[in-house]
Structure 1
Amino acid sequence: MKIIENPNKSDWSEILKRPTQTVNDIEKTVIQIFEDVKSNGDAAISKYTSRFDGVTLESNLVSSEEVEFAKTQVSEDLKLAITAAYKNIERFHAAQKTEKVQVETMPGVNCWQEKRAIEKIGLYIPGGTAPLFSTVLMLAIPAKIAGCKEIVLCTPPSATGKIANEILFAADLCGVSKIIKVGGIQAIAGLTFGTENIPQVYKIFGPGNQFVTVAKQLATKYGVAIDMPAGPSELLVVADESANATFVASDLLSQAEHGADSQVILVSTSKAMISDVLKAIDQQIQDLPRQEIAEKAIANSKLIYVESDEIALNLINEYAPEHFIICSKNEDLYVNGIRNAGSVFIGNYTPESAGDYASGTNHTLPTNGFSRAYSGVNLDSFLKSITFQKISEKGLIDLGPMIEKMAHAEGLQAHKNAVTLRLNSLNKK
């Protein structure tokens, strides 16, 4: 990790740059695969599964027999842990339900808003080196609470053509409609256009690598919505002398082990804390099964010393982290002052891992600075707000002349006529 002391504000942008490829480097490949899947459907899907995942499948649909077998292969202890996490996630997302909003804006003019579930959604669950069954919970649970009718899950198969038992157990627990063995760009393309095996959906959810992120963005050009741009994982920790260096190091490594393109950053007002964290990282990383991956991510990461909490807060808001951990005696300053972050973890005993798995909040969050404008996944992500209005005769008599004047001023005569004809009929009564 690179140690940086008191960087000039003019250099923050360069210092905080993510270790990602530009969209231009990736987009050509994504467009090519999209066009192939659009034209050739499942044949193209099969070709890319063979090329990228190293397996040729007789069928990429997961059968009920596969699901039932997978459920027998998950240990009872893990089933209990997943079920407990399920309940916490369900409890937090169910609490996000809102009632119908209804207002009489003026006598006889009634307006209201109601929410309806998005009918068809696609969930992308990364596989690769770490099958993320926890992401199944994070996406399928709020979808179920929202009332989505069709929940389609895509996840890449292993080299033996299997899906992780834990993913299948979680999907079954959450009531997923259909599970398909397909990953990467081709999965997003399949959900976008629909094939014989993959249903076309209205909105795609789920994190992935940079190729999946660009593929999701391309899907929007074909009328399919996405949750957010969610790419390689990232974490920023702010820590002063009140923090526990061992804990901070463990948090940084927990995100570094996600992938070589992950990024972790420590911002501190204490040089001693930076030194202690660096030592703790060197010690802890030796015992990680994913040491090589973590080391690559750590190489892209930074330890930044600044002189005050105010400077630290400004730097953090500019970075706009996906995950933000606060270990500072001035935690209120950061809690009240953070404007750009996907999810915030407060205090020495709130590891980011809690949000990843079981505390109840959602771990599908905006990365790469998109937390400046995007929220993480929540119940509303699976809902649409529809507005309604009903106007009585008296309401139109009072409101109509305003509409006529405004429509006339905009030069839209048909708009004016739609009101005038109704008012004339009322005057004849």
Structure 2
Amino acid sequence: MKLAVVGGGSTYTPELIDGFARLRDTLPIEELVLVDPAADRLELVSGLARRIFAKQDHAGRITTTTDIDAGVADADAVLLQLRVGGQAARNQDETWPLECGCVGQETTGAGGLAKALRTVPVVLDIAERVRRTNPDAWIIDFTNPVGIVTRALLQAGHKAVGLCNVAIGFQRKFARLLEVEPGQVHLDHVGLNHLSWELGVRLGGPDGENVLPRLLAEHGDAIADDLRMPRKLVDRLGVVPSYYLRYFYAHDEVVRELGTKPSRAAEVAAMEKELLEMYGDPELDEKPELLAKRGGAFYSEAAVDLAASLLGDGGSPVQVVNTYNNGTLPFLADDAVIEVQARVGRDGATPLAVPALDPLYAGLIANVTAYEDLALEAALRGGRDRVFKALLAHPLIGQFDYAEGLTDRLIAHNREHLAWA
């Protein structure tokens, strides 16, 4: 089995490598190709990757290339984990929206739109290269904004499934609180990427006992603290929202907070510099503890599970993924991309049935989906007016003056990445 990781020079990659090494019986990789235009980062990351494989007695071969076509040739699956513009572009996404009184975040609001506009054309170009060299390969997208990027891939006819680590993070957290193995915990996870709720937490399987009420009663303070939301809000909802819902439920508070501290991008850039120095140490043969603070926790385990199910029979039959709605949420179009539990196999992902949603959740999902429709149109076709309409449609913006000011700033800060600007 051959896998290619586009964006393989990312400081995330040792997390992925560690999962591949530990879970080699689930996903028996013979060759892993790390693809990245940054040859210097590739050298550091691949050196550590090979040492991790060697320490854990993994027989797989790790190779590197800056050539996408060569890297994805004959791959059974291609993982996308790229960041167009790097941390510098992310820093812009997190700062200029604050000038208009709107949240600055790389996947939500105006910053998320900027990232989509930069990313979708690049990802589609990579996917076309994959299709030319190996049309049977699966594309697993971890590149944000995952929902919009996955929809772009599916609309273009690619074999693609989107992946995020939010659900597996909740699964692991709830398993610790319940003192059970993670595999015993199944989530009634419903929504869009970075706009989701855990409506139930079931033991033993998708039809198992719902222990969410007990979790909230016994561990509500800890859960709310992790979300940075008031306990009384979580109790009144009776569900566990993704921590990204804080941008919606406490938008003005978050804007005030973000205006008083360095951006997350600045923190991550400093962390990446330190991590790359560590990766250059020839004695280091495991992922460093600092990597846990970088983000992407449990990404490797989710990626292994998904790839194993798409390529064979090794993965879990039910996983939380991003895929076409196809009637699952009846208030959305079939070609909307949702993030829910799905049966995953060689033919792809088929969402499980979802009970009728409270309008509190369905309304926000519908609103953000409408924004994502317009965001994808802007990413594919360009134009100031399309950018403006997407911003005006976003529930965190929604006012003419805000949308006008944000449109000008978005284009000014991203001109080098926008072919039409």
The two structures have a TM-score, normalised by structure 2, of 0.29
The two structures have a TM-score, normalised by structure 1, of 0.29
Return the index of the structure with the highest Cα Rg: 1
